[in-house]
Amino acid sequence: MKEKWLLHKIRHGDMAALDTFITQVYPTIYAFVYRKMQGDDSAKDITQEVFLRFIRYLPTYHEEGKVIHFLYRIASNLCVDAYRKQKLHLMEDSEAWMNGLGDDIDVHESILKQCAQETLLYNIGKLPLPQQDVILLHYFHQLTYREIAQVYDMPISSVKSRHKAALAKLYQMMKGERQDENR
């Protein structure tokens, strides 16, 4: 009920209500974005953009469940956009770097041992984006399958199948890394 009251006040220009709302949900959205972007510095910028877009969409927003679900969806979409931009920049940077290498330089890839949580987050980052979201929202933000289904407007069975597939892939990735370490 307090959420609806805050939204009503925000729609009518109450800046104190907006501050209260952002103060309440900012840490949750930032944590989601931070994990999704794997600790990248852009997490703060993306989180701010989430709230800017929310304010822009507020006049046409129709309450369909919790507002936090709507914010998760905006955050997820913005993270996908950021990934695309990063991928493009990485491709350009790696091409420039490769062009600068001479033929006589032997490039060796060093493997650093990371703590279990960093490795897990890295492997979550290698999952397809829909599976990443399910894992992050379920385990790091304690959303139920039903709530995740509401966020993405899909059947609960789809959320469960994404969850199961993601866990299977994570298990295989972690198992493969352990085998590589033992060699």
- In angstroms, the first-to-last Cα distance of the chain is 57
What number is the average pLDDT over the span 66-88? 81
Res 75: pLDDT: 92
Every domain of the chain and the residues it spans: 2-80, 108-182
Flag the least confident range among 2-11, 95-104, 110-119: 95-104
Q: What is the CATH number of domain 2-80?
A: 1.10.1740.10
Q: How far apart are CA 39 and CA 37, in angstroms?
A: 6
Considering the chain, what percentage of its residues have pLDDT values greater than 90? 26
Task: Give the pTM.
Answer: 0.59
What are the φ and ψ backbone dihedral angles of 126, each rounded to 5 degrees?
A: -85, -10
Pick the CATH number of 108-182 from 3.40.30.10, 3.40.50.11810, 1.10.10.10, 1.20.1070.10: 1.10.10.10
Tokens 């990248």 -> residue: 40
What are the φ and ψ backbone dihedral angles of 49, each rounded to 5 degrees?
A: -65, -35
Band the pLDDT of 85: cuts 50, 70, 90: confident
Q: How far apart are CA 133 and CA 117, in angstroms?
A: 17
**Sign of torsion over alpha carbons 26, 27, 28, 29:** positive
3-state SS, residue 113? coil
Amino acid at 149: A
Assigned token pair, 115: 């703590």
Is the separation of the CB atoms in 103 and 135 below 8 Å?
no
What number is the average pLDDT over the span 144-148? 91
Is the separation of the CB atoms in 33 and 46 below 8 Å?
yes
